[in-house]
Structure 1
C-alpha cells in the first residue's frame, strides 16, 4: 500500500508516518504534492493555538492545541496535537482501535509518570491515558500495574551508575535479529576483542572512582556472552569481578541454551552473578529451525535444570509471540513447558519486523494481529499464574499487532538494569562494540549519549577513541 502524504511541516513527516503505520504497518508513506496526495495535512497557528486538519477519503478531522511553555514544551505540544489529529481521522476511517491508541513512543510509562508528577492519583493517570490518548483500558491498567511494581526500584541517587558489557558474538544469527553481532565461528577475533574490552572496562572503573559514582547494576549482554569458550568466559568474569566488586546486581545473558554446558555454568556460579537468562524464544522445534536457533526445546529444559541444580536462584526466560507460522496452540505449548520449569521471571516479547533481519529480508510474516494479541494475553496469564507482576515494558516499531514487550517477575526478582535502561533514570557506562553510554541529568530532564562503533574490527582498532568519548561525556557536562 502506497500513501502519498502532504504536510507543510516537513520536519514532522516521519512523525505522521508513524501514526499511519499504526493502522497500516506495511504502508509505504511518501511525500506528495498537496493536489495529488492521499493524506492531506494542513496546519496553522494564531494567538497561542495550533490547528491541525487531516483529510483522507473524503473525511476530515480538526484538532486544536494550546501552544504554551518554553520552546521545547511548545514543540512537544505541537507534535502531540498533530499526531492525535491524524490518529483520530484514521481511527474513524478504519474503525480500528489500536491497543495503545495514538501512542507511538517506545516508553509509554513516561506518560504515566508525567501524569503522576502533575498530582494525578494512579487511578486518575490510568483514566487520563484512556481518555486523552485512546489507550485501551487493558493497556492503561498494565501501565499502572507496571509503575506500581517499579515503586521503590525506579528512584535512584544522581551519582548512581550502571555498567553494561557487550559480547557481540553468537553461535548463529537469529532470523529476527538486527543487533550488532557476528557468528563466533572459530573464535579468531575473541582474544583481540576481549583485550580491547578489558582495556575499556579498566578505564570505566577508573572513571567511576574518579567521578565519585556508585555502581548499581552490572549487565553482561550481547550477542551471547556464553558463546565464548569456558576459559574465555571465566577470564571475562574474573576481570569484571575485580574491576566492579560493588555491583548490587549482576546479570549475564546466557540466552542460548546450546551454549550452556556445565563448565560455563560453573564459571558463572564462581563469579558473583545474581541473575541469568535461559531463553527458549519458543519451545517448538520446527519454529526454532525457521528462526535459526541451533538448539531444541529439550536443550532448553536441560540447560535450565542444570542451572537450577548448580544453585542459580534468579533465572529469566524469554519467549516471543507471533513468530512466523505459529498458532495460538503452539504458543500455549511453549508457555506450558516454560511454566513447568518455574522460572523467576518471564519476558514476553512480540515479534518485530526489524530492518536488517533475515525475517524482514525474506518476507516472513508474523502471526496476524488478533492471534498476536491472544498470544500476548496468554503470556500475561501464564506469568501471573507463576506469581509474577509486570515490572517493565517497552514498545518497538513494526511490532506485530501494534503490541508491546513486557517483563514479569516474582517479587524481589526484578532486574534493576532493565528498569534503569527502560525508564532512563540511571546513567550507564557501556563497554564493547555497539554499546551506548548515556548520562542522565534528572534535574534537567536531559540525557547525553556516547555510542561505541558497532563493527568488531573497528572497535578493536579504535578502543582509545571509545574511552575518550566516555571521558568527554562526564568531563564536558560537569
Structure 2
C-alpha cells in the first residue's frame, strides 16, 4: 500500500513518512505528487496558545478517517521543534493505529536511540515510574519494551562519563574476506590485498596526528575499539603493527576491544599476538550456527570453525569475549535460531549481541529484493533475551535501524562487569569520539549547547588514502580548545 503524504511543515515530511512506514512497511510513504492508494493530509494550526494537528486519511474509494490532537505551544528553539514534532507524529500514529488495527512494539518511536528519550524524561525530574508511565501513555510502548529500556538504564548507571575532556577512540579497518549479503558498510573484500599496506600507512599517519592533537587539547582517551570490516582479516604482522602504533601514541586504555569477527580469520598465532597486547575484549561473531545459512549469506566459515576459534581464544587466556547473532536471516526460522542460541549457551561468552536483520538499500539482499517473513522475528528476539538472561546477562545497550524486520532492535547483553563502555558511549552519544580510518565519523559532544559536532572521514578507501591530511584537518577543526572548553 502506498500513501501520499502532504504536510504544510516540510521539515516534518520524513518524520511523518517514518510513522507511515511503521504500519505499512518500507516504500509505503510517497510524496503528494506520486501515485498512491490513499492520501494522508496534515493540517497545522496555532490558536489561543495551542497547537492543533489534524490528519485525514482518504482512500481511493473516498472513505475518510480523521484524528485531531492539541497541546499547549512550547516556545524556545530546539525544545519547541522537538515538542511540535512529537505532537505531529503522535497524532499521525494514533490515526494509523486505529485504521490499521496494528500496535508496533515500540509505539510511536521511530528513532534509533530509544534510551535517549528515557534519559530526557529523567533530566526533567521525573521518577523512573513516571518515565515508564510516560512511555506507555504518551508514546504507546509495550510493557516488554519499557522493561527492556528500564533494564538498560539500570545497567548503564555509573558507566557514562560526561567529562568534557574524556573521549573514546575508534579505528576502522574497512576490509573483509567476503561481503555478507546483508552488509551495507563501505568495506571492501580484501582480494589480493594491494590496498592494505597503503591504507595502513595513511591510517598510521592519522593515528600519530590525532594523538598529538588530543595531547595538545588535553583530551584523555578512555576506551578504544578496533572495528570494521573485519580487523582480523589483516595478517598477524599487519595487525600487530596497528596495535603497536595505537599503544605508542595513545597509551594503555581502560578498555580496548578488537572486533576479531570472523572465525576463519583467526589462528593461534594471531590470537596470541592480540592477547600479548593490552586488549581487554574481543568479538568472535558466528551470526548463525547453521552452515547452510552461512553459505547463503556469504560467510566463508562454518559453525565448527566458530566453536574452534572460541575455544582457542579461551585456551590462550581471553576472559571477555562477545558473540553476535542475527535474527531473521534468510531461510532461518525460530527453530534454527533457537539452535544457534543453544550452541552459544554451551560456549558461555561474557556478552551476546542479538541483532535483528536490517535489509539496507546498498546490501545484496536489497538488490535481490529479498522479502522478510515476519511471523517468527519477534519470537526470535524474545528468545535471544530469554537466553541471555538465563546465562546471567543483562541488557546494557540497544539501537534500532531503518529497514529492520518488524521495526525491532539490536540489543547488547553482558555479564555484570563486562558491559562494553565504548558501545554505551557510542549509542548514547554522551562522550566525544575520535574515529580514525575510512568511513569513521568523529563526534565532539557539546553538552551546554546540546549539540554534537561531527567530522566524517571519507568512506572510499582509495580516496581516504589520498586525502588523509584533509581527514586530520577536519577533526582538528572540530576538536579545537575553544569548542570543547
Whether the TM-score (by the shorter chain) exceeds 0.5 is: yes
**Does the CA-based 8 Å contact 1:6-1:34 persist in structure 2?**
no
Q: Deviations over 1:123-164 (max 9, x none)?
A: 221121011100001101110110000000013322111011
- Deviates most, 40-49 or 275-284: 40-49
- Deviates most, 48-57 or 373-382: 48-57
User: Superposed, which structure 2 residues align to 1:31-430 within 5 Å?
Assistant: 31-32=31-32, 38-56=39-57, 57=59, 58-368=64-374, 370-430=375-435
Q: Deviations over 1:13-64 (max 9, x none)?
A: 1111100110111333222269995212111122332111111242110011
Q: Deviations over 1:392-432 (max 9, x none)?
A: 01111111011111000000101010000000010001110
SS in structure 2 of the partner of residue 5 of structure 1: strand
**Does the CA-based 8 Å contact 2:260-2:284 persist in structure 1?**
yes
SS in structure 2 of the partner of residue 51 of structure 1: strand
SS in structure 2 of the partner of residue 253 of structure 1: strand
Q: Report the Cα distance in structure 1 between the residues aligned to 2:198 and 2:32, rounded to whole angstroms.
A: 50
TM-score between both structures, scaled by the size of structure 1: 0.98
Tell me the residue number matched to 2:456.
Answer: 451
Shift of 1:304: 0.5
**Does the CA-based 8 Å contact 1:162-1:216 persist in structure 2?**
yes
**Does the CA-based 8 Å contact 2:3-2:30 persist in structure 1?**
yes
Q: Report the Cα distance in structure 2 between the residues aligned to 1:367 and 1:377, rounded to whole angstroms.
A: 16
Q: Report the Cα distance in structure 2 between the residues aligned to 1:28 and 1:374, rounded to whole angstroms.
A: 25
TM-score between both structures, scaled by the size of structure 2: 0.96
**Does the CA-based 8 Å contact 2:252-2:278 persist in structure 1?**
no
Q: Report the Cα distance in structure 1 between the residues aligned to 2:11 and 2:430, rounded to whole angstroms.
A: 29
Q: Deviations over 1:54-88 (max 9, x none)?
A: 11242110011222131221111111111101100
Q: Report the Cα distance in structure 2 between the residues aligned to 1:181 and 1:33, rounded to whole angstroms.
A: 37
Q: Gapped runs of 5+ residues in structure 2?
A: none
Q: Report the Cα distance in structure 2 between the residues aligned to 1:35 and 1:99, rounded to whole angstroms.
A: 30
Q: Report the Cα distance in structure 2 between the residues aligned to 1:141 and 1:233, rounded to whole angstroms.
A: 41
Match of 1:442 among 447, 450, 454: 447
Q: Deviations over 1:258-291 (max 9, x none)?
A: 1011111111111110000000001011111111
The answer to whether structure 1 residue 474 and structure 2 residue 479 are counterparts is yes
Q: Report the Cα distance in structure 2 between the residues aligned to 1:47 and 1:249, rounded to whole angstroms.
A: 55
Q: Deviations over 1:101-134 (max 9, x none)?
A: 0000010001111111122221221121011100
Q: Report the Cα distance in structure 1 between the residues aligned to 2:182 and 2:73, rounded to whole angstroms.
A: 41
Q: Report the Cα distance in structure 2 between the residues aligned to 1:23 and 1:302, rounded to whole angstroms.
A: 43
Tell me the residue number matched to 1:431.
Answer: 436
4+ runs of 1 displaced by more than 3 Å?
Answer: 33-37
- Deviates most, 418-427 or 35-44: 35-44
- Deviates most, 26-35 or 334-343: 26-35
**Does the CA-based 8 Å contact 1:6-1:33 persist in structure 2?**
no
- Root mean square deviation of aligned Cα: 1.4
Q: Report the Cα distance in structure 1 between the residues aligned to 2:27 and 2:221, rounded to whole angstroms.
A: 45
**Does the CA-based 8 Å contact 1:169-1:222 persist in structure 2?**
yes
The answer to whether structure 1 residue 12 and structure 2 residue 12 are counterparts is yes
**Does the CA-based 8 Å contact 2:106-2:145 persist in structure 1?**
yes
Structure 1 residues 35 and 162: alpha-carbon distance in aligned structure 2, compared to 1, 3 A threshold:
closer
SS in structure 1 of the partner of residue 178 of structure 2: coil
**Does the CA-based 8 Å contact 1:66-1:77 persist in structure 2?**
no
Q: Gapped runs of 5+ residues in structure 1?
A: none
